Amino acid sequence: MSAGLTRRELLRLACIGSAAAAVAPVETATAAVHSEKPQAAPGAVGMLYDATVCTGCKACMAACNQVNELPADSAGSGGLYHAPLDLNSKTKNIIKLYQAPNAGKWSFVKRQCMHCLDPACVSGCPFEALSKDPEKGVVRWDGSRCIGCRYCEIACPFQIPKFEWDKWNPRIVKCEFCITQRLEKGEQPGCTGACPTGAVIFGKRDALLAEAKRRIAASPGKYFENRVYGEKDAGGTQVFYLAAVPFKDLGLPELGTDSIPYYATKVNAKLYKWLSGPLVLYGILALAVNRNWKHHRHEQEQHEAKGGLPEQL
Amino acid sequence: MSNPWQRLVPVYNKETHSRSFWIFGAITVLGFVLAGLRMVSPLGRYSGMNDAYAWGVWKIFNVMTLTAIGSGSLAVGLAAWVFGNEKLHIAMRTALVTSFLFYFTGMMALIVDVGRPWNFWQIILPWRWNGHSALLEVAVCMPAYAFLFLLFENVPLVLERFSYTGSDRVKGAIKRFDPVMKKVYPFVVAGAYLLPLMHQSSLGGLMLLSGPKVHPLWQSQVLPLLYVLAACICGFAFVNWTLLFTCYRYRRPISIEVVSEIGSLMSWVTFAWLVIRISDILIRGQVHAVLAFDRYSFLFLTETLLMAIPAILLRFKSKRETPRTLVTCSALAGLGGLLYRFTPTAFAFTPAKSYSYFPTLPEVLMTIGFISFGILTWRIAVRYFAILPGTNEEWHENNWEPLFVSLRSRFHKKPQGAPTWQE
């Protein structure tokens, strides 16, 4: 009798154990929970782009291609020179022109990865192929982990990660702040180094934020909403924008000030903490099923004893 | 006869190779050939996906939508085994086999869809998992459910067959294995409800991370809950529809008692879904979006009506007990559930103005090919195994379809000993 009990206990434990192992991440205990207002790493690098200074010369695009060894994309020039239509798997950095429909206002805008403080792409990536560098805060991609599911593209509010649709072994392509080619050698990224007018500058995130606010204070009314885009947007980014036209017109969406991963995980983080939710639910289900199972088996055995046909599970 | 569903009985005396069999077969082969070609060539050549609409029909239809109607095992199983509804055990095998086929074809679509499937092996390294990712939960949970739990639940119907037709050694092995299986069965089955509850809700959780890209009528914290309830609705709907349709097709009497019970449960879950759905719209202050009468409000109203009409109709006993009404209501609720599950990833998903997505022909052919494979397998399965309900009189334990028969003799074979339906 007792042997049967212990065997049953063992079985129960084995089932719970295997269910738990099959079900959810072991590291839920250690993983940091997303906060509503994420903090920048102390050594976070940044970029400040001031659209009112940019002349649209595209030197940064050429430099980006050079440093990242990217091919020219001549889609917009009929094969003559590097003129991509948008960020794509060959283009990590692009200068676009915005013109208001009534030809009043116009502005250039530089687009590349924003290196969010709490990136949606990193939060969604199932095997951590996308990760945020803990020291500099750069969002990087690791090909040995990526399964090519493209959830990063579904998640990114800025539509930054690009997928190599024309390759059999596709990579996710996006700006990585030239971290291996430049930052780790103590140099600045290709684009900021090439900019002749200082429209885009490189530095520590907090220093750049102070500089952006200094510019706003120096010429009140010059900049849209007297605000730095990226200071708080979507929880904050490491790329800042100053512009004279609405950010929305430059393709920078109004995302509010909360981190998107916080919104996406706040309920589940509680339910799945320490796997408590699934384990408790499994316990309840197992108790209920077991009770009904005994009842069901009892009925079947009676039925079979009366000469009925064997049970069909 | 009070209850014509006393037992699960294989389908006897049906010509396998009817015209529709060959049509589904051809579509399946075409889909599989294309899938093979896609595996050795870039994704862009075979699909209409792009960097904004990075998920196409394979993921948003075969995986995220069709596994909802593959949730019959979850819905009927919860009712039968967790809530102790004894009546519904007879519908379990129909649910289990169809669920397995939907999940299996969904997994096939997933492998075709991902760009670097050779990195999928990391699934066995938990320290590489991202615990915050809803997609990780889906990626681990779905295959585990399909290939461990659902497969295990489908073992008894295979063992049953071989306990009649197997060699003496096989019969002996089954006799020894049977008590072991019956010991672990309830504990595995409990896991078989935990896992789909988790990943069917996580499928809704996937779209939370898209934030403002999903229209506010759908983007909500209750997506996961509504997704899992929609899966239960679709599961009940599909099992009921399948039972009614196949019994009609194979000329078997229908147990009104069972199908009306499933219809009733489906209607209650639909009411729960509607209450949560509409409360959520009110709480988030999106009534103006419902009344905007643009394409989004039209979609919302369509899905709500598809859900509400069968839910209300099936509360009337007379309607519940009319097979024709049940078939219609199951189809409507199933479609409503599917539409709700499809919309946030498709119609209401607007990542960028300058991009659009429509599946290409090869993409659609693969999608249809996977579904055809499921239909084909189902049609073969109901002949080889006891899946569909029937009466004790119909049951002939020595009349199993032989497994390995040459195709040629297949065409001229007439099974002996079983009465035909016309008698």
Nearest chain B Cα distance for residue A203, angstroms = 30
pLDDT at B400: 87
B247 neighbors B254 (Cβ within 8 angstroms): yes
pLDDT for B423 beyond 60: no
Neighboring chain B residues of A4 at a CB cutoff of 8 Å: none
Nearest chain A Cα distance for residue B369, angstroms = 21
Longest dimension (CA), chain A: 96
**Nearest C-alpha in B relative to A297:** B182
Dihedrals φ, ψ of A140, to 5°? -125, 165
CB-based contact, A231 to chain B, within 8 Å: no
Q: Strands, DSSP E only, in chain A? A: 45-50, 94-99, 106-111, 130-132, 139-141, 162-163, 172-173, 200-204, 239-242
- The token duo for B92 is 């379990």
The mean of the pLDDT values for chain B is 93
pLDDT at A276: 92
CA A21 and chain centroid, separation: 26
- The token duo for A40 is 């920048």
A201-215 pLDDT tens trace: 999 999 999 999 999
Nearest chain A Cα distance for residue B7, angstroms = 8
Q: How far apart are CA B162 and CA B384, in angstroms?
A: 10
| Helices B92-113 & B134-144 angle (0-180, nearest 10) | 130
Cβ A170–B116 below 8 Å, yes or no? yes
Predicted structure pTM score: 0.91
Neighboring chain B residues of A153 at a CB cutoff of 8 Å: 51-52, 54
Q: How confident is the model at residue B409 (pLDDT cuts 50, 70, 90)?
A: low
Nearest chain B Cα distance for residue A114, angstroms = 16
Neighboring chain B residues of A11 at a CB cutoff of 8 Å: 183-184, 187
B245-264 pLDDT tens trace: 999 988 899 999 999 999 99
B118-148 pLDDT tens trace: 999 999 999 999 999 999 999 999 999 999 9
**Structure-model confidence comparison of residues B402 and A160, the more confident one:** A160
CB atoms within 10 A of CB B284: 15
Of A149, A195, A198, A191, nearest to A172 by C-alpha is A149
In angstroms, the first-to-last Cα distance of chain B is: 17
**Nearest C-alpha in B relative to A19:** B191
pLDDT at B417: 52
pLDDT at B255: 95
- The token duo for B126 is 């938990």
pLDDT for B47 beyond 50: yes
The strand pair at A239-242 and A45-50 is best described as parallel
Q: How far apart are CA B114 and CA B105, in angstroms?
A: 15
pLDDT at A94: 97
Q: How far apart are CA B237 and CA B273, in angstroms?
A: 14
pLDDT at A9: 58
The Cα-based distances of B291 to B31, B62, B221, B340, B347 in angstroms read 42, 31, 22, 18, 18
Q: Say which residues have a Cβ less than 8 Å from residue A105's Cβ, sequence separation at least 6.
A: A99, A244, A245
CB-based contact, A98 to chain B, within 8 Å: no
Count interface pairs A-B at CB distance under 8 A: 247
Q: What percent of chain B shows pLDDT beyond 90?
A: 86
pLDDT for B315 beyond 70: yes
CB-based contact, A154 to chain B, within 8 Å: yes
Neighboring chain A residues of B111 at a CB cutoff of 8 Å: none
Single-letter residue type at B370: F
Calculate Rg over the CA atoms of chain B: 22
Low-confidence residues in chain A, pLDDT < 70: 1-32, 103
Cβ B352–A159 below 8 Å, yes or no? yes
Mutate to test the interface with B, among A91, A111, A312 (most CBs of B within 10 A): A312
CA A222 and chain centroid, separation: 32
**Structure-model confidence comparison of residues B14 and B418, the more confident one:** B14
Q: Name the H helices within B291-418.
A: 295-313, 317-320, 323-342, 361-384, 407-412
Of B186, B204, B207, nearest to B196 by C-alpha is B204
pLDDT at A14: 53
**Nearest C-alpha in B relative to A251:** B352
Q: What number is the average pLDDT over the span B362-366?
A: 97
Q: How far apart are CA A241 and CA A221, in angstroms?
A: 15
pLDDT at B397: 83
Mutate to test the interface with A, among B194, B223, B355, B398 (most CBs of A within 10 A): B194
Neighboring chain B residues of A264 at a CB cutoff of 8 Å: 134, 205, 208-209, 211
CB-based contact, A22 to chain B, within 8 Å: yes
Nearest chain B Cα distance for residue A267, angstroms = 8
**Nearest C-alpha in B relative to A266:** B221
pLDDT at B395: 87
Q: How far apart are CA A264 and CA A253, in angstroms?
A: 18
pLDDT at A7: 55
B242 neighbors B79 (Cβ within 8 angstroms): no
